[in-house]
A and B are shown apart, each in its own frame.
Chain A
Amino acid sequence: MAEHSKIHVWGSAAMGGALLLLGGAIAHAEASERTVWSGVYASDQAERGKAAYAEQCAGCHGATLAGIDTAPPLTGSVFLNNWNNTSAGDLFERIHSTMPLNNPGSLSAKATADIEAYIFQANGFPAGQAALPPSQPMMAGIKILATKPAG
């Protein structure tokens, strides 16, 4: 009986410690979290993206990214809310694998990243130094947040 209690207490303490460690890890991750508000694309990349958008996307999503009858908007409230708390990698994957609808899979990874940079720019996210990388896993850690985090 005593043995049993001892083990039990010991177990709890170990778990508590693990939780503390885990808590620390989460706090650390949050502190260094990259979001679309951290400057995750380059201005010249967005310029390239603008040209690619006009060629590949504007026919359905509109010159102003406001969407038309048959395609959703890529800026503003409806777009941001539907992508809030996803990642730049998720958006990359969706564009890269399904767009444009009449020729899916035809966009290179680089063109996709450029177009995504332009979409970020059009949504008011700030430009930074480095370009958005042309790779889904490389941008999976960049969170899309509809509203700018405080501080």
Chain B
Amino acid sequence: MKGISRRGLLASTASTLVLSGLAGSSRAIAAPAPSGSAVPHPDTEWRYYAADQANTRYSPLDQINAANFNDLEVAWSFKTDALGARKEYQFEATPLLIKGRLFTTAGSRRDCIALDAATGELLWMHRLDEGERALNSPRQLSGHGVSYWTDGTKERILYVTIGYQLVSLDAATGQVDPEFGVNGVVDLKRDFDQEIDPVHSDVGLHSTPLVVKDVVVIGAAHTAGDVPEVRQNVKGYVRGFDIKTGRRKWIFHTIPLKGEYGYETWIGGDADKAGNTGSWAQMSADEELGLVYIPVELPTGDETGIYRRGNALFGESLVAVDIETGFRKWHYQMVHHGLWDTDLPCAPILCDIPHNGRMVKALAQPSKQAYLYVLDRTNGKPIWPIVERKVEAGDVPGEWYSPTQPVPTKPPAYDQQGVSIDDLIDFTPELRAQAVEFVKNYKIGPLFTPPVISKPERWGTISAPGVQGGTNWPGGSYDPETHIAYIYSKTQPSVMGIIPNANTSVSEFAYVHGIAGMAPRKMSRMGAESGGGDFRPPAPPPPKPGQKAGGLPPGFLAIQGLPLLKPPYGRITAIDLTKGDIAWQVAHGETPDNIRNHPALKGLKIPRTGRPGNLGPLTTKTLVICGEAGFYTNEYGVRGAMLRAYDKATGQEKGAVYMPAPQSGSPMTYMLQGKQYIVVAIGGGNYSAELVAYRLPGKA
């Protein structure tokens, strides 16, 4: 095997870029070169966060398959400890692969780095020390990664800093592009159609910019809105920038201005003062249709909507806008005036599916509420009917309740929705009996049961899925050949109680998310100094008759330390979009240690329960590959998590390899010099962030 210099490596892979460029369609980029190529295993690329602009997280590679998955070895690993002033434990990025180089953000300062994809060697690093501006950001740490653009000659890497600045770098050197913005940087807190404080304002972004044609599209993220500090927060508008100059091309008002479409869906002009309504999720784009698909979060107040009365567009909507102008083509609102923190958390998957005898340009939007919404992406019309169902109103003074909510008839929900007695833990009759007793102090009901005023005899509504979903930011995966979507979701209910608040230094909201007897706590807005508000410890709640003192506080959903609801706690669902049905579903993740060792469960045979977390699966020619969300202690007494592979046709597990820590960023794959690699970001607990590359044994 002759030695290969980096220069040789880059030169030999340059042809790949040309081939990919000729293929034209973004979806062809992860595909091998056309047949007839002299190279048996041509190099492939991974140019977008989830493989392509369609967000399929799909690659047709098959060198790693069911027969050899267990043989995978660590090719290299890259620890991110030295990036930033301290270690990071929440490494959510998926790197891009272009011409033998991996590009990602990493470390607690969100540095931008390039690595040699064959060895993990650091090629360059870009760092922006933003001081206070970064410390005040609502989105800390390394973020979800970077974006790539090329005109065939110039190559650019773009990322958003913790302090909400857009940076454009030369992919070859990591040096800023002097023609972009001011010395390579666009200050995203300016030219925003609102005046905001450059250091303290509540806006940031941890998703990657969306690069489509010569436009880079940027969303906005804010502090979580359970206890919103202010009523008039930053408005989360979405903007398109010229990728060559950094000049703003357009802005889309996710909260319409007076006179704009959608303004009338807000009652009493509430749109004027409302904030948030950002797009913190990844986005998708269809260059042929000329559309960008923008998932939008709630307006200010995750569980209280008293200052955003009405359906309040474009909250919890998917909006399709023109790539060049930002004009709205269509929108679809998944939840009307939501009270359950059901932001649209991830990109819709663009998919061409057979329906009623013809191919339809569709999209499939995974959600926190465990519905996969399937729409015609040319016009936003549902592929299968979505019907308005009557829902219950709650008892919060001043709240506005939507009388109905949209409910898809197909595909069926892919995770637990709502809570009934049948859904409670039932490993043993004793545990079930305790759970039945437990929920008497809560409100339970179907999906869209509203949050209620918290009081000792009824602490709140138990909502499943909870505030984190369902599915969250990693989104799903999709096989364009079989038209099957693969979605990870978790079963992790939340208590949604509402309490009055008179302390305006904590929140300007008269009612906030909380539990009776506990003073509302200021959210770490990170835009505010740590001070003000009432920092006395929460008063202990009044003990209920018969309640044991010193136990878990109310609002904590556990029975003898075990989850309140039945497993699986984490699952992967295959959804066949040719039929709108579930093809298979598996519990994903080893049974946690505290269940395997629980004295109340001794002698019971409990099937694998899965683990709750935020995971993005990867689909290849034959496999669905996904790491576990949590640590467990294996048969050798070693802590870690497994990277698992399932037969994508049946869901049967075909192999698993050890990772020292859980999957924290979604895996990606590529072929380089005849070897297929799987690269995944891991970390959590006491194990700091690391990028790990796996490949089959033998010389690379």
Where the two chains meet, the residues of A that have a C-beta atom closer than 8 Å to any C-beta of B are: 50-51, 53-56, 58-60, 62-66, 68-70, 75-78, 80-87, 90-91, 93-94, 97-98, 100-105, 122, 124, 146-148, 150
Contacts and interface: CB of A to CB of B under 8 A. Distances in A.
A77 B563 contact: yes
Nearest to A60: B524
B556 A75 contact: yes
Nearest first, the 8 A-B pairs at minimum CB distance are A59-B524, A90-B686, A146-B594, A81-B592, A102-B526, A58-B521, A147-B597, A55-B535
9 contacts: A54-B537, A54-B538, A66-B556, A84-B594, A86-B685, A90-B686, A103-B530, A104-B85, A124-B551
B492, B521, B525, B662: most-surrounded residue (chain A CB, <10 A): B521
A50 B630 CA distance: 27
Interface of B: 85-89, 108, 135-136, 140-141, 224, 226, 302, 341, 467-468, 492, 494-495, 514-515, 518-526, 530, 535-538, 551-558, 561-563, 592-595, 597-599, 611-612, 630-633, 637, 639, 662, 684-686
Contacts of B552: 75-76, 122, 124
Contacts of A76: 552, 556, 558, 561
Nearest to A66: B556
B108 A98 contact: yes
B86 A97 contact: yes
B556 A64 contact: yes
A86 B686 contact: yes
A100 B555 contact: no
Contacts of B525: 59
A124 B560 CA distance: 11
Nearest to A150: B599
Given A81-B592, A124-B552, 4 more contacts: A51-B536, A69-B341, A103-B135, A122-B552
B483 to A, nearest CB: 32
Question: Which of A64, A94, A150 has the most chain B CB atoms closer than 10 A to its own CB?
Answer: A64
B535 A82 contact: no
Contacts, number: 152
Given A54-B535, A54-B537, A98-B108, A63 B521 contact: yes
B514 to A, nearest CB: 7
B601 to A, nearest CB: 10
B549 to A, nearest CB: 12
B550 to A, nearest CB: 8
A99 to B, nearest CB: 10
Given A63-B515, A77-B561, A80-B561, A100 B592 contact: no
A143 to B, nearest CB: 12
Contacts of A93: 686
A84 B530 contact: no
A85 to B, nearest CB: 5
Contacts of A150: 599
A101 B135 CA distance: 8
Contacts of B611: 81
Contact of B597 (A62, A86, A146): A146
A69 B468 contact: yes
Nearest to A82: B685
Nearest to A47: B537
A66 B558 CA distance: 11
Contacts of A77: 558, 561-563, 592, 594-595
A78, A90, A91: most-surrounded residue (chain B CB, <10 A): A78
A61 to B, nearest CB: 9
Given A69-B468, A86-B686, A101 B612 contact: no
B537 A50 contact: yes
A102 B494 CA distance: 25
B686 A69 contact: no
Given A69-B468, A82-B630, A98 B530 contact: no
Contacts of B556: 64-66, 75-76
A98 B685 CA distance: 12
A64 B553 contact: yes
Contacts of A94: 89, 685-686
B302 A102 contact: no
Nearest to A93: B686
A69 B558 contact: no
